[in-house]
Structure 1
Amino acid sequence: MLKVLIFLLGFVISAVGYEGFGWKIDPSTKNKVVAKVGDTEITEMEVQRMMKILLPMNFYHRNITDDKLKEIREKAIKNLIYRELLYYEAKKKGLKVTDEEIDKLMEQLIKQYKSKENLEKLLKETGLTLEDFKKELEKRLLVEKLIKEYITVSLTEKDLKEYYEKNKEKFKEPASVKARYIYIKIDPTDPEGRKKAREKAKKAYQEIKEGKDFGDVAYRYSDDLSRIKGGDIGYVHKGRFPKQIEEKIYNLDIGQVSEIIETDTGLHIVKIEGKRPSRLVPFEEIKDKLKKELTQSMQEKKFNELIEDAKKHLKVEIYEEKKDS
């Protein structure tokens, strides 16, 4: 549900989402009902319009797999159901959209598309008249108001600090080491894969022993993504590596490089650059991440509460097979 919430919060009220994207909407789908929320029917035409919004604008229809198309269609139906439920909640709470707000938005869109005729032409391709689109705008604007008033969360530093102080156990971190890492992958499809990986690891290890910079060697030899940062993986605590690696690297002193450690998937070389005992992560260090996670969690909770409240009053039905209304 959270992804849908983010989608709704970031939804731009415009006709842009209906442009292009490789297929024409069949006007006959206007009468094919795929879901129902209370007395409101959701048609195949609405689903296809929502799919045109959800699909990435640079992703052509001919390249979409059937599975991906099915997944996007399911999301489109879900979004439309949530929109109807939130629309119900907005009206129940007495929120309103004025004619002036809709007219102002329509004026902006007509200006954006150079003329009323151009906008009408675009909308017609998706089975909408200007009047239909005005009703869509009213619904979206009302849902947007509901989200801003009842879902959007704005946390202050004081809020974050209070949460941190009450939940310090959550911010305790086990002992960790700061490390640079080289990983030589064994190609399982090559009968000589392990032998080749060992030879590559030996070359890398030899260069390190000769005094060459570990970061430079990691960049040239490692198959791990950290190679672009010279093998720097920052501070890591136990659980990051397989046990047979951890048994060796956590006993190293700062500045030491491990021997070549071989596992089923590859060969590993680790350099320890720092050590940190178990600690309580300082508030200043965690506050940005905490704000993001806490905001997301609280918004999801509020969103779910509104959806569940609406479902107490509106029956939701999704039809496996589309039927004519």
Structure 2
Amino acid sequence: MNIKGILITFLGLFVFSFGYEGMGWSIDPSMKEKVVAKVGDTEITEMEVQRMMKVLLPMSFYHRNITDDKLKEIREKALQSLINRELMYYEAKKKGIKVSKEEIDKLIDELIKQYGSKDKIEKLLKEAGLTLDEYRKELEKRILVDRLLNEHIKVNLTEEDLKKYYEENKNKFKEPASVKVRYIYIKVDPTDPKGRLKAKEKAEKAYKEIMEGKDFGDVAYKYSEDLSRIKGGDIGFIHKGRFPSQIEDEIYKLKVGEVSKIIETDIGFHIVKIEDKRPERLVPFDEIKEKLKKELTQSIQEKKYEEMINDAKKDLKVEIYEEGEKKNS
């Protein structure tokens, strides 16, 4: 991420949190004095945790009550995020990564220009429990950690790397026998006393049209209540375990091109068509390489990240304080 991107993202970390004000959850200024963790000599306060919680809070909870369990989960993530940031900041400095005062000054100037005045920025930061000097420090940490990640955790896998991994781990890319299915689902409305009868009549209409020679995909689009209707009921290749046994028992009796009878279950009525069958196979490299690159890159990055965290912990003691108790991490 470039410097400008860092500024926008990092500013968003604080400005985004303001949106929660007036919704029953405001940052308590007194929490600036409550130390909840230490990383080496650096203290992490409850105010920092609350601020990070607002950033991590899923938008799905924005307009409704949050359970105590969910708040506890978010708080744990927020605290761990702050602890990891301090550990990575330490690693960045240890590896000689730097950001100049001039770079920070330039970012602050851009921020002031964007918001109109230094006073306005200081007012916004005060609402988030920060002074401008504290924000400068936070910004420095964010930039150094970002540079550390780019320089020491970034992974660039070549096609040769991917092929080598594929050849050495072919057992991971075996795929069980599968069938290509088109699917129609008519659900039963449990709130309607005649829901099952109505669903059955609808399924029978769909089945009749298929038997009369209408295209299965067109009928699926017209009648099905499964998301696959928008693709004409096409759900691609599936293997055993995708459907309940009631439906699978019928699916695996069918030949390519055949349509099942109407299958009735507790939740509704189902019609399937088998379009192709594929035996157990080794997924070809070209078919899997993009997914493999993404998954392997993420796995290597996570491993490198954990190694850096553990290296920092060798030098820095991590202490977490909960309700007056001290726990080492």
TM range (shorter): 0.7 to 0.9
Secondary structure of 2:181's counterpart equals strand
- Say if 1:13 and 1:140, in contact at 8 Å, map to a contact too: no
Relative to the length of structure 2, the TM-score reads 0.85
Matched residues in 2 for 1:12 and 1:66: separation? 31
Where does 1:37-186 land on structure 2 (aligned, <5 Å)? 37-55=39-57, 60=62, 63-67=64-68, 68-186=70-188
The CA deviation at 1:217 is: 2.0
**Letter of the aligned partner of 1:22 in structure 2?**
Y
Q: Secondary structure at the match of 2:183?
A: strand
- Once the two structures are TM-superposed, the CA of residue 127 in structure 1 deviates from its matched residue by 2.0
Q: 1:205-284 residue pairs with structure 2 within 5 A? A: 205-284=207-286
Give the letter for the 1:269 counterpart: I
Contact 1:183 1:222 in 2 (8 A): yes
Conserved 8 A contact 1:205-1:269: yes
CA deviation digits over 1:225-277, x for unaligned, max 9? 21221111011122222333233222322221011122343322101112222
Q: CA deviation at 1:118?
A: 2.3
The change in CA–CA distance for 1:42 and 1:306 in structure 2 (over 3 A counts) is same
| 1:186 to 1:319, Cα distance in 2 relative to 1, 3 A | farther
Q: How far apart are residue 302 of structure 1 and its match? A: 1.2
- How far off is 1:192 after superposition? 4.6
Deviations 1:197-232 (A, max 9, x none): 333322221121122222222223223221221111
Q: For each residue in 1:80-121, what CA deviation from the matched residue of structure 2 results, as whole angstroms up to 9, or x when unmatched? A: 111112112222333222223222322222222233222222
Query: Is the contact made by 2:259 and 2:271 (CA closer than 8 Å) also made in structure 1?
Result: yes
Contact 1:33–1:322, Cα closer than 8 Å, also in 2:
no
Query: Cα gap change, 1:21/1:57 in structure 2, threshold over 3 Å: closer, same or farther?
Result: farther
Q: CA RMSD in A?
A: 2.6
Aligned length: 314
Q: Which amino acid aligns with 2:317?
A: K
Structure 1 CA distance for aligned equivalents of residues 121 and 60 of structure 2: 22
1:135 to partner: Cα distance = 0.9
The CA distance in 2 between the partners of 1:296 and 1:163, in whole Å, is 14
Distance 2:169 2:159 in 1: 15
- Report how far residue 144 of structure 1 moved: 1.0
Q: Is the 8 A contact 1:49 1:126 kept in 2?
A: yes
Report the CA distance between 1:150 and its aligned residue: 1.9
Cα distance in 1 between the residues matched to 2:49 and 2:283: 46
Q: How does 1:268-307 map to 2 (within 5 A)?
A: 268-307=270-309
Alpha-carbon shift at residue 10 of structure 1 (Å): 8.4
Q: Is the 8 A contact 2:7 2:107 kept in 1?
A: no
Q: Deviations over 1:20-79 (max 9, x none)?
A: 21325332211012222233221121122223333467974x634234444333322121
Residue type matched to 1:15 in 2? L
Identity %: 71
By how many angstroms is 1:187 displaced? 4.1
Decide whether aligned partners of structure 1 residues 246 and 308 sit closer, same or farther in structure 2, where only a CA change above 3 A counts: same
Q: Which has the higher contact order (CA 8 A, sep 6+)?
A: 1
- Give structure 1 stretches of 5+ with no counterpart: 1-8
**Which amino acid is the alignment partner of residue 28 of structure 2?**
D
Provide structure 2 residue ranges, at least 5 long, that are not aligned to the other structure: none
Any conservation in 2 of the 1:13–1:137 contact (CA below 8 Å)? Answer: no
Q: Distance in 2 between matches of 1:58 and 1:249?
A: 38
Q: 2:14 aligned with 1:14, yes or no? A: no
Moved more, 192-201 or 151-160: 192-201
Give 1:144's aligned amino acid: D
